Amino acid sequence: MTNIQNDKNYDFLDKFARDAKQAARKFSHLKSNEKNNALNRMAEALIDKMEMILAANAIDVKNAQQKKLAPALLDRLVLNSERLNNMAKAIHEVAELPDPVGDISNVRIRPNGLQVGRMRIPLGVIAMIYEARPNVTSDAAALCLKAGNAVILRGGSEAFQTNTAIIKILHQALESCHLPTAAITFIPTTERDAMVELLKLDQYIDLVIPRGGEGLIRFVAENSRIPVIKHYKGICHLYVDEDANLNIAMNLLIDGKLSRPGVCNALETLLVHEKIAENFLKTAGDLLKNQGVEIRGCQRTSQILPFAKIATDDDYATEYLGLIISVKVVNDMDEAIDHIGKFGSNHTEVIVTDHLPAAQRFIREVHSSVVAVNASSRFSDGGELGLGAEIGISTTKLHAYGPMGLEALTTQKFVLLGEGQTRHEIKTILNK
Amino acid sequence: MTNIQNDKNYDFLDKFARDAKQAARKFSHLKSNEKNNALNRMAEALIDKMEMILAANAIDVKNAQQKKLAPALLDRLVLNSERLNNMAKAIHEVAELPDPVGDISNVRIRPNGLQVGRMRIPLGVIAMIYEARPNVTSDAAALCLKAGNAVILRGGSEAFQTNTAIIKILHQALESCHLPTAAITFIPTTERDAMVELLKLDQYIDLVIPRGGEGLIRFVAENSRIPVIKHYKGICHLYVDEDANLNIAMNLLIDGKLSRPGVCNALETLLVHEKIAENFLKTAGDLLKNQGVEIRGCQRTSQILPFAKIATDDDYATEYLGLIISVKVVNDMDEAIDHIGKFGSNHTEVIVTDHLPAAQRFIREVHSSVVAVNASSRFSDGGELGLGAEIGISTTKLHAYGPMGLEALTTQKFVLLGEGQTRHEIKTILNK
């Protein structure tokens, strides 16, 4: 398991996925305390074996430096004792979350006395395909197992030694609980061809979640026979309505654009109602400029802020992930909603308004996965929304939409409890 | 719109899908009574223009007869005034159903005072790809529109004239309500190449639901870039436990196998605990034989029922859809659950037992989309389970699992209501 398979024969993937499915069946009916115990052991093992992980990580980091990996990517790759403690803490926190499996809801009695309810069950086998961050390895394993699933992990080549070490330690923890290690299956190669083969195994794998750059996600979506939950980018809009509280608007702009510009729930576009545009943009423009933010605006923006560059359609469609913002002055909410429909990415949109009908209309007509009134786009996050933890964010509407917690790793089956009910009368069936 | 496009240029599909997306946006925020009014007009129009539909249907039926279409398929194709009345009635019934769109649930207050809830919204554009039955045209249109979606319909070549006539009439009804006809978009060609092009339009279409034979469904699943909800087959099992009430077991066997053998929730396999096998199978075997049902059983079955043929693994994996049943005597529930895991299709499984721990275990460990205790498999149906109507049955776990009603044609977005909350303190952000 620790070496890359160098031949081009990927038959082993079939066995890996089959074993994962077998392990998923075992995990699907473990009791919560059995799962929590395994998770806590996994967390403890990461701390106990910290030296082994840091040694493996040092090899990856050295390789990455030699390959001149971009500083941002290198930063994601590096582990230290603080980061490992946080990874362990995150697993303990998942163990503390309520277990969604087995919940029965919507129980109704049909006219014939039949009880019909819906019971939450695990999805089965979930494949995570991700890039540099080694913490995804332990986070994804903990979330998938807690929801009663098995997980197949395919990490990036930069973190290969680190991931291999983490997996070895997690497997020891599972073994100490007499649980199948195939519940956390690690793909011991990062070749694209192997990923393509993996994405064909829809008889074993129930869901694929890619996490990483848009290129990786498109590649997975186009090559997968298995359902994919995807999130291409976050082009989040802040719309400042004519009836906005401008102090709130300014705070949400600062929090949304400046608190962490490199994440997907950061703001990329500011839409301002023409009636308050001059007043608001003058203050906002100076503040953004002083904070080193480049402004790309429409013609009307540049009349108010002469230092603003002119924005193109490409700008409005770009996730900057940095200190640039697109700005547009709109005639009314129609134009704001149209702009979001044309350039948005179904991630998160915010309206600032004190006018109730405007808030109601924005909520009704904007169909992004998170729609906020007078609250920062930065709350668009599983932890902040009360999901406890987040396995990813979906910007497509099937199965899950928006930040995904444990519940998104489950589905619901119908459960029927009867006393011998039949749909047709037996005598009639036999005599027909 | 009424003629097949004979050139091989399918660029028109792009425009069709774009128009459908535009119409979906309109339908997504119609009020319930506007949607219901449109549905009722559609139903009335089918009755008013019955002669036109029957004339078109006569052409399809004549063509089908000349092509020697199988009698079962021909029967599905034929319309008459009774069937058209039922189609209209079905639309009126959908109009009467509660509207799922706009429901807000799970509203919680976060520690910072932010209100977080989930609001049900339409999926957007749904493509239905189906075969001979013309009633799918009106049923699917009614269900998709009621849930605030647009629908793209691609019916089978056998029903082309009939579908064209139905669509024309439904469009007139929409026009009379000043609603965009693109909300019901009909693909005016049945060529497979056109379907392949349609299945690439993931920028406009949110979901594909194929209904028909396994070949069609596999073709759609393998060629689609759009998420597909699929149901390959229904191999439903009845497991008669050692503690079963054998009268109930007999009734569920009769209802499940004989009331309508050609449907997907009919029984295909009977599993019998060895302790009651001889007693139950002697009576059941005679009854099935008298009703013309061929029995294919394991060795132990044939010792009890000498007239039974020996079942192969292929038999256990076959959806007979007719008067044949597979039978197996099992040592215990483990073997029954393993058999279902190996040969089942995640559709519907039934246990007959009076022993509570057995019922609990079967419910916990069998992860088919419908699991029933002491109730017929034939209840596995949207109407019977209280969903009001059914757009299809999903046997894959993503998004929907089991019979799908209006709710399965929607998703949930997060809605946040704040009073200016930010994730980080503004002063800290500006001074960092």
Give the pLDDT confidence of B65-111 residue by residue, as tens digits.
999 988 878 888 999 999 999 999 999 999 999 999 999 999 999 99
B123: contact with A, CB 8 A cutoff: yes
- The CA distances from residue B172 to A329, A377, A422, B33, B164, in Å, are 40, 43, 42, 19, 13
User: Which of B374, B420, B421 faces A245 most closely, judged by CB atoms?
Assistant: B420
Q: What is the mean pLDDT of residues A79-87?
A: 96
Which DSSP category does A407 fall into?
G
- Buried/exposed code over A183-205 (b: 16+ C-beta within 10 A; e: otherwise): bbbbbbbbeeebbebbbbbbebb
Confidence of residue B7 (pLDDT cuts 50, 70, 90): low
Give the per-residue pLDDT at A1.
40
User: Which of B29, B119, B385 faces A116 most closely, judged by CB atoms?
Assistant: B385
| Those residues with Cβ within 8 angstroms of residue B127's Cβ, 6 or more apart along the chain or in another chain | B151, B152, B153, B154, B198, B199, B205, B207, B208, B209, B226
Instruction: Identify which of A308, A280, A314, A284 has the alpha carbon closest to the alpha carbon of residue A296.
Output: A308
Q: What is the mean pLDDT of residues B155-175?
A: 97
Give the per-residue pLDDT at A5.
47
Question: C-alpha angle B74/B79/B81, rounded to 5°?
Answer: 150
What's the token pair of residue B155? 């019916």
The alpha-carbon gap from B142 to the nearest alpha carbon of chain A, in Å, equals: 20
The alpha-carbon gap from B364 to the nearest alpha carbon of chain A, in Å, equals: 7
Give the per-residue pLDDT at A204.
95
Q: Is the pLDDT confidence value at B273 over 80?
A: yes
| Those residues with Cβ within 8 angstroms of residue A350's Cβ, 6 or more apart along the chain or in another chain | A236, A237, A238, A239, A252, A256, A267, A371, A372, A373, A374, A375, A376, A377
Contact A248 B420 (CB under 8 A): yes
B232: contact with A, CB 8 A cutoff: no
Contact B417 A374 (CB under 8 A): yes
Q: CA-to-CA distance for A397 and B122, rounded, in angstroms?
A: 9
Contact B422 A251 (CB under 8 A): yes
User: Which of A119, A206, A420 faces B248 most closely, judged by CB atoms?
Assistant: A420
Phi, psi of A238, rounded to the nearest 5 degrees: -115, 115
Contact B429 A259 (CB under 8 A): yes
Q: What is the mean pLDDT of residues A289-307?
A: 98
Contact A371 B415 (CB under 8 A): yes
| Contact of A88 with A47, CB cutoff 8 Å | yes
Closest residue of A to B253, CA-based?
A: A422
Give the per-residue pLDDT at A2.
40
Confidence of residue B1 (pLDDT cuts 50, 70, 90): very low
Give the per-residue pLDDT at A7.
52
| Contact of A397 with A388, CB cutoff 8 Å | no
Centroid of chain to Cα B150: 18
User: Which of B227, B363, B402 faces A398 most closely, judged by CB atoms?
Assistant: B227
Give the per-residue pLDDT at A421.
98
More reliable by pLDDT, B260 or A7:
B260
Q: What is the mean pLDDT of residues B290-299?
A: 98
Which DSSP category does A312 fall into?
P
Chain segment B382-408, per-residue pLDDT in tens: 999 999 888 989 999 999 999 999 999
Contact B414 A380 (CB under 8 A): yes
| Contact of A122 with A98, CB cutoff 8 Å | no
Which DSSP category does A228 fall into?
B
A248: contact with B, CB 8 A cutoff: yes
Contact A422 B255 (CB under 8 A): yes
Closest residue of B to A422, CA-based?
A: B376
| Contact of A345 with A395, CB cutoff 8 Å | yes
Q: CA-to-CA distance for A180 and A337, rounded, in angstroms?
A: 51
| Those residues with Cβ within 8 angstroms of residue B100's Cβ, 6 or more apart along the chain or in another chain | B120, B147, B406, B407, B410
B323: contact with A, CB 8 A cutoff: no
**Strands B410-421 and B115-122, bridge-based pairing:** antiparallel
How many other CB atoms are found less than 10 A from the CB of residue A260? 15
Give the per-residue pLDDT at B187.
96
| Contact of A119 with A107, CB cutoff 8 Å | no
The alpha-carbon gap from A248 to the nearest alpha carbon of chain B, in Å, equals: 5
Centroid of chain to Cα A173: 26
Q: CA-to-CA distance for A260 and A282, rounded, in angstroms?
A: 23
Q: Is the pLDDT confidence value at A225 over 90?
A: no
The alpha-carbon gap from A190 to the nearest alpha carbon of chain B, in Å, equals: 24
Chain B residues within an 8 Å CB radius of A417: 359, 372-375
Chain segment A351-400, per-residue pLDDT in tens: 999 999 999 999 999 999 999 999 999 999 999 999 988 898 999 999 99
End-to-end CA distance of chain B: 62
Contact A375 B416 (CB under 8 A): yes
How many other CB atoms are found less than 10 A from the CB of residue B74? 17
Q: Which residues 408-427 of chain B have a CB within 8 Å of chain A?
A: 411-424, 426
Amino acid identity, residue A34? Answer: E
Sequential DSSP letters for B222-259:
HH-SS-B-------EEEEE-TT--HHHHHHHHHHHHHS
- The CA distances from residue A244 to A247, B81, B345, in Å, are 9, 59, 55
A25: contact with B, CB 8 A cutoff: yes
Q: Is the pLDDT confidence value at A4 over 70?
A: no
Q: CA-to-CA distance for B187 and B17, rounded, in angstroms?
A: 10
The alpha-carbon gap from A274 to the nearest alpha carbon of chain B, in Å, equals: 21
Chain segment B174-199, per-residue pLDDT in tens: 999 999 999 999 999 999 999 999 99
| Contact of A343 with A321, CB cutoff 8 Å | no
Q: CA-to-CA distance for A143 and A129, rounded, in angstroms?
A: 15
Give the per-residue pLDDT at A75.
87
Q: Is the pLDDT confidence value at B6 over 80?
A: no
Q: Is the pLDDT confidence value at B258 over 90?
A: yes
User: Which of B29, B341, B374 faces A418 most closely, judged by CB atoms?
Assistant: B374
Contact A341 B25 (CB under 8 A): yes
| Contact of A322 with A72, CB cutoff 8 Å | no
Chain segment A172-216, per-residue pLDDT in tens: 999 999 999 999 999 999 999 999 999 999 999 999 999 988 889
Q: What predicted TM-score, i.e. pTM, was given to this entire model?
A: 0.92
User: Which of A207, A370, A424 faces B414 most closely, judged by CB atoms?
Assistant: A370
| Those residues with Cβ within 8 angstroms of residue B130's Cβ, 6 or more apart along the chain or in another chain | B136, B140, B153, B154, B155, B156, B210, B211, B212
The alpha-carbon gap from A194 to the nearest alpha carbon of chain B, in Å, equals: 19
What's the token pair of residue A57? 């990580």
Closest residue of B to A230, CA-based?
A: B227
Closest residue of A to B424, CA-based?
A: A255
Cβ burial, residue A22 (10 Å; 0-12/13-18/19+): middle
User: Which of B29, B114, B369 faces A365 most closely, judged by CB atoms?
Assistant: B29
**Averaged confidence pLDDT in chain A:** 95
Closest residue of B to A222, CA-based?
A: B225
B385: contact with A, CB 8 A cutoff: yes
Q: CA-to-CA distance for B279 and A261, rounded, in angstroms?
A: 72
- Buried/exposed code over A54-81 (b: 16+ C-beta within 10 A; e: otherwise): bebbeebbeebeeeebeeeebebbbbee
- The CA distances from residue B389 to A88, A411, B95, B137, B260, in Å, are 47, 21, 11, 14, 19
**Averaged confidence pLDDT in chain B:** 95
Q: How many CB pairs under 8 A join A and B?
A: 228
A106: contact with B, CB 8 A cutoff: no
What's the token pair of residue A301? 């923006």
Chain segment B18-29, per-residue pLDDT in tens: 999 999 999 999
A109: contact with B, CB 8 A cutoff: no
Q: CA-to-CA distance for A259 and B431, rounded, in angstroms?
A: 11
Phi, psi of A425, rounded to the nearest 5 degrees: -70, 135
Chain segment B59-77, per-residue pLDDT in tens: 999 999 999 988 878 888 9
User: Which of B25, B251, B414 faces A402 most closely, judged by CB atoms?
Assistant: B414
| Those residues with Cβ within 8 angstroms of residue B129's Cβ, 6 or more apart along the chain or in another chain | B154, B195, B208, B209, B210, B211, B212, B216, B220
- Tell me the three state secondary structure of residue B108: strand
Sheet of strand A207-211, all strands in order from the earlier edge strand to the far edge: A184-186, A150-154, A125-130, A207-211
Give the per-residue pLDDT at B222.
86
End-to-end CA distance of chain A: 62
Q: Is the pLDDT confidence value at A414 over 50?
A: yes
Domains of chain B in start order, with CATH, are: 11-230+396-415 (3.40.605.10), 236-379 (3.40.309.10)
Chain B residues within an 8 Å CB radius of A401: 411-413
Question: Residue A306: left (phi > 0), alpha (psi -120 to 50), or beta?
Answer: alpha
Q: What is the mean pLDDT of residues A19-43?
A: 97
Best residue of B121, B355, B362 to probe chain A, by most A CBs closer than 10 Å: B121
Chain segment B103-153, per-residue pLDDT in tens: 999 999 999 999 999 999 999 999 999 987 899 999 999 999 999 999 999
Closest residue of A to B371, CA-based?
A: A415
Q: CA-to-CA distance for B23 and A293, rounded, in angstroms?
A: 38
| Contact of A247 with A359, CB cutoff 8 Å | no
A206: contact with B, CB 8 A cutoff: yes
Contact A412 B401 (CB under 8 A): yes
Q: What is the mean pLDDT of residues A119-147?
A: 95
Contact A378 B123 (CB under 8 A): no
Amino acid identity, residue A230? Answer: K
The alpha-carbon gap from A374 to the nearest alpha carbon of chain B, in Å, equals: 5
Give the per-residue pLDDT at B3.
44
